[in-house]
Structure 1
Amino acid sequence: MSIDTFPALGTAPTPLTLDRLIELTAATAADVRAGLHEIRFDAENRWSVRLRGDAYADVWLITWTQDQSTALHDHAGSLGALTVVSGTLTEHYWASGLRDRTIANGHGAAFPLGHVHDVVNRASEPAVSVHAYSPPLTAMSYYDLDGGRLRRTHSVLTHDPEPDVVTLDDVPTIGAAPAGEASR
């Protein structure tokens, strides 16, 4: 698969639209289900690996054990999308108040500019998801709720959707899927 498979439909910060990002995460999720990428789980931290990246988009594989979450954050100047490969994730998102939605196995969600959310695995079984950001991430801001209002607490410059998470080399293999090309 090539980013060229997903033609440009818009002119805002990226040539890829939210619909194209969902298509990209769904296609990559199918590759993960087919065993083309290694999957690892870490009970303490979400595990992630960049599956591909170019000037237009980054695609990441992220695993989640029970109660692991991202904390409320945005993706700065990047659009985003995710598709759940296995398990179920809950998204808490800000829309003039905190709202919830469940993203089940095989389903996805897209994130426009300014979207603030927290993604969490509330289920007892692990979850696996594929995320895409376009343009590739350069920063993320984090938020708290303060009296029913959203308050930014800090921002980080990062190219990694998991800036505080260990790398592939730091995590022992636990119930890994067939080995694929896993790199950061």
Structure 2
Amino acid sequence: MTTAPTSARARGHAPTPLTLDALVELTRDTAADVRAGLHEVRFDAENRWSVRLHAHTYADVWLITWTEDQSTLLHDHAGSLGALTVVDGDLTERVWRPSGLRDRALATGRSVGFPVGYVHDVVNTRSAPAVSVHAYSPPLTAMSYYRVDDAGALRRTHSVLTHDPEPDVPTLDAVPSRTGTTR
């Protein structure tokens, strides 16, 4: 990954030299590697399965799998920019706006980037499993969770310190190889 000086506006006001476009490209490139079979994919009916594929100075890249009704809950990524690309399947992103929550479909191949302060939920509403690649820059250090109250206002419920986009479920820090060993 190369970095070039960028303006704070192009970076999305995050403390990173990477732009949203660079993060989206990183997730697209990694999704192509996943589709090519370079990374093992697993599914867990109870929890989203995830593994950190790359840990760079300025970004972490994660592979996350989803079975039906698995959701991230409404959250932000604290001071990190983010991006995701759907490798396979269909996901629904619920984005909070002052006018309320809005759903958008994320089908296979779709990529999105999200600036600091972006509050969303991602869910697999389909019976078929889904696979996605996510990148965060700078690497995650915290996440905050929210609910929308009866007046339609966004209310933070709690925050967690974490380096992991799946802080409440077991994840792998080492990438499993096709032979079953980790590297």
Structure 1 residue ranges, 4+ long, deviating more than 2 angstroms after superposition: 6-12, 177-183
Amino acid at match of 1:76: A
Contact 1:81 1:111 in 2 (8 A): yes
Q: Following TM superposition, by how much is the alpha carbon of 1:10 offset from its aligned partner in structure 2, in angstroms? A: 3.2
Distance 1:179 1:72, change over 3 A: farther
1:105 equivalenced with 2:102 (yes/no): no
Amino acid at match of 1:27: D
Contact 2:52 2:172 in 1 (8 A): no
Which residue of 9, 24, 27 maps to 1:25? Answer: 27
Contiguous gaps of at least 5 residues in structure 1: none
Which residue of 134, 152, 156 maps to 2:156? Answer: 152
1:85 equivalenced with 2:82 (yes/no): no
Aligned to 2:142: 139
Amino acid at match of 1:98: L
Matched-pair identity in %: 71
Query: Structure 1 CA distance, aligned partners of 2:77 and 2:180?
Result: 28
Which residue of 29, 53, 56 maps to 2:55? Answer: 53
Deviations 1:123-143 (A, max 9, x none): 110000000000000000000
- With normalisation by structure 2, the TM-score equals 0.89
Contact 1:37 1:182 in 2 (8 A): no
Distance 1:181 1:150, change over 3 A: farther
Query: Structure 1 CA distance, aligned partners of 2:5 and 2:97?
Result: 28
Distance 1:124 1:145, change over 3 A: same
Which residue of 101, 119, 124 maps to 1:116? Answer: 119
Q: How big is the alpha-carbon RMSD for the aligned residues of Structure 1 and Structure 2?
A: 2.0
Aligned to 2:46: 44
Aligned length: 174
Query: Structure 1 CA distance, aligned partners of 2:37 and 2:179?
Result: 8
Contiguous gaps of at least 5 residues in structure 2: none
Query: Structure 1 CA distance, aligned partners of 2:137 and 2:103?
Result: 24
Amino acid at match of 2:37: G
Q: Following TM superposition, by how much is the alpha carbon of 1:182 offset from its aligned partner in structure 2, in angstroms? A: 5.7
- With normalisation by structure 1, the TM-score equals 0.89
1:73 equivalenced with 2:70 (yes/no): no
Amino acid at match of 2:70: Q
Deviations 1:72-125 (A, max 9, x none): 000000000000000011000111111110111011111111000000001110
Distance 1:99 1:181, change over 3 A: farther
Distance 1:16 1:73, change over 3 A: same
Indicate the larger mover: 152-161 or 91-100.
91-100
